[in-house]
Amino acid sequence: MIIRENIKISELVTMRIGGVARYVFEIEDESDLPNILEELNARNVKEWYFLGCGANTFATDSGFDGAIIINKMKGIKSEEKDDSVVFTVDGGVDWDDFVRETTLKNCTGVECLAGIPGTVGAAPVQNIGAYGQEVKNAISRIFALDMESNETVELKADECDFSYRHSIFNSTSRGRYFIYKVEFELRKGEIEGELYGSLQKYLDDNNITSREPNVLSDAVRAVRDSKLPDPKYIASSGSFFKNVYVDESEIEKLDEMGIPHHGTKVNTGWLIENSGLKGKVFYGFKVSDKASLVLINESADSYEDLEKAVSEISKTVEEKFGFKLEQEPNVIGK
Decide if 260 contacts 267 (C-beta within 8 A). yes
Query: Would you give the end-to-end CA distance of the chain in angstroms?
Result: 26
Q: Which is nearer to ligand EPU, 14 or 84 (CB)?
A: 14
Catalytic member of 16, 84, 134, 165: 165
SS3 255: helix
Whether 328 is catalytic is: yes
Please, what is the minimum distance in Å from the beta carbon of residue 133 to ligand EPU? Answer: 8
User: Cβ(303)–Cβ(8) under 8 Å?
Assistant: no
Distance CA 271, CA 27 (A): 42
Buried b (16+ CB within 10 A) or exposed e, 187-209: beeebeeebbeebeebbeeeeee
Looking at the Cβ atoms of 21 and 295, the one nearer to ligand EPU is 295
Bridge pairing between strands 20-27 and 2-8: antiparallel
User: Position 141: which residue type?
Assistant: R
Give me the least distance between CB of 272 and ligand EPU, in Å please.
7
CA distance 328 to 320: 21
Amino acid (one-letter) located at 260: P
**Distance of closest approach, residue 294 Cβ to ligand EPU, in angstroms:** 7
> For residues 152 and 327, which CB has a smaller minimum distance to ligand EPU in the complex?
327
Residue 293 or 300 with smaller CB distance to ligand EPU:
293
Residue (23 or 321) nearer to ligand EPU, CB: 321
- The question of whether 239 is a catalytic residue gets the answer yes
Active site residue 4: no
For ligand EPU, the binding residues (CB under 6 A) are 130-131, 196, 198, 227-228, 238-239, 242-243, 260, 267, 269-270, 273, 278, 291-293, 328
Residues 313, 315: Cα–Cα separation, whole Å: 6
Q: Please, are residues 135 and 182 in contact by the beta-carbon 8 Å criterion?
A: no
Catalytic hit among 84, 217, 236, 239: 239
Give the shortest CB-260-to-ligand EPU separation in angstroms.
5
Q: How far is the CB of 196 from ligand EPU (least distance, A)?
A: 6
Helices (H) and strands (E) in the chain, counts: 7, 21
Angle between helices 213-227 and 95-104 (to 10 degrees): 150
Catalytic residue (one of 185, 273, 312, 328) = 328
Residues acting as catalytic residues: 165, 239, 328
